[in-house]
């Protein structure tokens, strides 16, 4: 009897096991054959188009009647940002079929498919009781009929421009898979007066040329401003009465201090990626060497020791290496060495001279100015010395600086003659060159990191 009981139990157990197994097999059978049975695998698609993405950006809606021009201005800035990047084509508002009337409803996707928009940006601006501005936006995938992104911001009304840049960055990142660069600023040297007596002032503006403000008054000559990659600080070279000196300026507080106290001229400063050190050139007699100074301890380390002019040092984004310009081989060329100094490897060998190297924030390229044949070109090269490419060439192009995402460069161009230099941006393909509007002549641009 007891035996029977046990056997029953055991068989029950095994039945459960069978059931489980059967279930597993059923699940497997339910999934497997569909996948395996009739599926045809065709060879990989290994390339596609890189062409601007058509996006539709209707004017943002006003949440209440007294918003004024702000809603339209915000969508205008977004449109302008995306167009300037070269990666998007904002579709002309005249072509729109649907008029977005309600921010909370789904748009009629077929209407937008009709005009071939791939992305659609809708938004609404509402002034709150407390005087703040609420800005909402949605990014729609027109072909998928889904919302890709949506955010809302609260801000003081003065900051509507930044909100527009932040929204542009969000759209850029969501559609390209890369960080944007619109919410950033550019410091440059503003030049006024005639050619013999230029007044040079440090100026700061949004990357699209808006909101220009001046950081120095113009008594002293300023050169080579550089943004800290980590803080809102600028280092630059300035000289009035005495020797040229390297300064650090805090753009928020306006505080200014001299970097180090060296016997000779210091120039070509640049921050390390963490913003804690400044690397620069120090002239000693007829040659110049590269030094790095810790901003907190003021400890200075010599990195090169040659009878040549070593200048324009720039850290790699990981802080492990430094690229710089040196004429130790006869003509100025670009070299790469460890951030602690030591032997340097020459990476440029072409005709002409190479100068003002700057390492991309992505780490995969070094931009330079190349001079030869009576022309100045802006180009990029890989840090190992391969893949040199010229992006633009002309009478005088100089001083490249990378946007925070490393896809766009800004530089200055001097057409010669009586005129003065102005700022231009170009993307890494070299195809999308744009003039950057400045109040007067401008040179030596330097891009800030994203403001965050």
Partner 1 sequence: MIKSSVTISTLGHAILLAWGLVSFSAKPFDSATAESLPVDVISSSEFSQMTAGVKTAPMAEAPKPLVEKVAPHPKPVKDTTAKISEKPEIEAAKADAPPPAPQVKPQPEQKPPEEKKPDEIAEALKTEVVKPPPAPKKPPPPKLDMSKIENKLALLDKREQRRSAAIGETLNATPTLGAATGQSATLSQNEIDALRGRLRDCWDVPVGVADARDLFVVVRIQFKRGGDLDNEPIITNRLSHPAFQVAAESVLRAVRKCAPYTFMPAAKYDVWKDIEVKFDPREMFRG
Task: Provide the binding-site residues for partner 1, judged by CB under 8 A.
Answer: 33, 36-51, 53, 87, 118, 141, 143-144, 148, 174-178, 387, 389, 407, 428
Is the Cβ of residue 47 or residue 66 nearer to partner 1 in the bound state? 47
Neighbours of 130 (CB within 10 A): 7
Neighbours of 55 (CB within 10 A): 25
CB of 148 to partner 1, least distance (A): 7
Is the Cβ of residue 45 or residue 196 nearer to partner 1 in the bound state? 45
Q: Which two tokens stand for residue 229?
A: 């990659």
Rounded to 10 degrees, the C-alpha dihedral 262/289/396/84 comes to -80
Is the Cβ of residue 115 or residue 309 nearer to partner 1 in the bound state? 115
Neighbours of 125 (CB within 10 A): 28
CB of 350 to partner 1, least distance (A): 16
Is the Cβ of residue 189 or residue 426 nearer to partner 1 in the bound state? 426
Is the Cβ of residue 36 or residue 452 nearer to partner 1 in the bound state? 36
DSSP conformational letter for 30: H
* Contact by Cβ (8 Å): 55, 171: yes
CB of 357 to partner 1, least distance (A): 19
Nearest to 149, CA basis, from 119, 112, 109:
119
CB of 58 to partner 1, least distance (A): 20
Rounded Cα distance, 340 and 320, in Å? 8
Rounded Cα distance, 148 and 367, in Å? 34
Nearest to 310, CA basis, from 263, 350, 346:
346
Rounded Cα distance, 448 and 231, in Å? 9
Is the Cβ of residue 51 or residue 64 nearer to partner 1 in the bound state? 51
Nearest to 317, CA basis, from 381, 405, 247, 398:
405
CB of 408 to partner 1, least distance (A): 11
CB of 81 to partner 1, least distance (A): 15
Residue 125 CA: distances (Å) to CA of 157, 272, 296, 435: 11, 40, 45, 30
Is the Cβ of residue 116 or residue 340 nearer to partner 1 in the bound state? 116
CB of 170 to partner 1, least distance (A): 13
């Amino acid at each position: 009897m007891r035996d029977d009981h046990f056997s029953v139990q055991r068989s029950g157990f095994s039945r459960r096991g069978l059931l489980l197994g059967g279930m597993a097999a059923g699940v497997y059978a339910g999934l497997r054959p569909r996948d395996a049975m009739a599926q045809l695998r065709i060879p990989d698609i290994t390339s596609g188009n890189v062409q601007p993405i058509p996006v539709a950006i209707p004017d943002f809606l006003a949440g209440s009647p007294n918003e004024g021009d702000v809603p339209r201005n915000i969508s205008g800035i977004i449109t302008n940002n995306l167009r300037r990047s070269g990666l998007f084509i904002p579709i002309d508002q005249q072509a729109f079929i649907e008029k977005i009337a309600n921010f909370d409803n789904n748009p009629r996707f077929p209407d937008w498919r009709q005009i071939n928009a791939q992305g659609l940006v809708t938004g609404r601006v509402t002034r709150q009781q407390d005087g703040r501005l609420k800005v909402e936006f949605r990014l729609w995938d027109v072909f998928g009929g889904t919302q890709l992104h949506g955010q809302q911001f609260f801000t003081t009304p003065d900051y509507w421009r930044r909100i527009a840049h932040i929204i542009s960055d969000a759209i850029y990142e969501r559609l390209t898979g890369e960080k944007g660069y619109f919410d950033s600023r550019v410091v440059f040297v503003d030049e006024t007066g005639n050619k013999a007596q230029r007044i040079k002032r440090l100026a700061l503006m949004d990357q699209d040329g808006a909101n220009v403000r001046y950081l120095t008054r113009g008594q002293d000559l300023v050169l080579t401003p550089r943004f800290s990659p980590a803080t809102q600080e600028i280092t630059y070279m300035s000289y009035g009465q005495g020797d040229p000196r390297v300064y650090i300026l805090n753009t928020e507080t306006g505080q200014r201090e001299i970097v180090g106290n060296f016997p000779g001229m210091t120039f070509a400063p640049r921050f390390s990626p963490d913003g804690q050190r400044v690397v620069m050139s120090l002239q000693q007699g007829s040659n110049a060497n590269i030094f790095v100074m810790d901003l907190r301890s003021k400890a200075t380390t010599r990195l090169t020791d040659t009878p040549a002019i070593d200048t324009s040092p720039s850290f790699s984004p990981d802080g492990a290496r430094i690229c710089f310009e040196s004429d130790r081989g006869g003509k100025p060329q670009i070299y790469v060495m460890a951030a602690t100094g030591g032997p340097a490897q020459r990476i440029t060998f072409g005709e002409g001279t190479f100068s003002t190297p700057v390492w991309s924030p992505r780490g995969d390229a070094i931009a330079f100015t190349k001079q030869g044949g009576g022309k100045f070109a802006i180009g990029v090269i890989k840090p190992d010395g391969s893949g040199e490419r010229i992006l633009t060439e002309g009478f005088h192009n100089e001083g490249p600086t990378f946007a925070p995402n490393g896809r766009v460069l800004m530089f200055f161009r001097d057409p010669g003659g009586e005129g003065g230099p102005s700022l231009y941006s170009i993307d890494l393909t070299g195809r999308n060159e744009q003039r950057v509007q400045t109040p007067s002549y401008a040179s030596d641009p330097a891009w800030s990191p994203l403001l965050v």
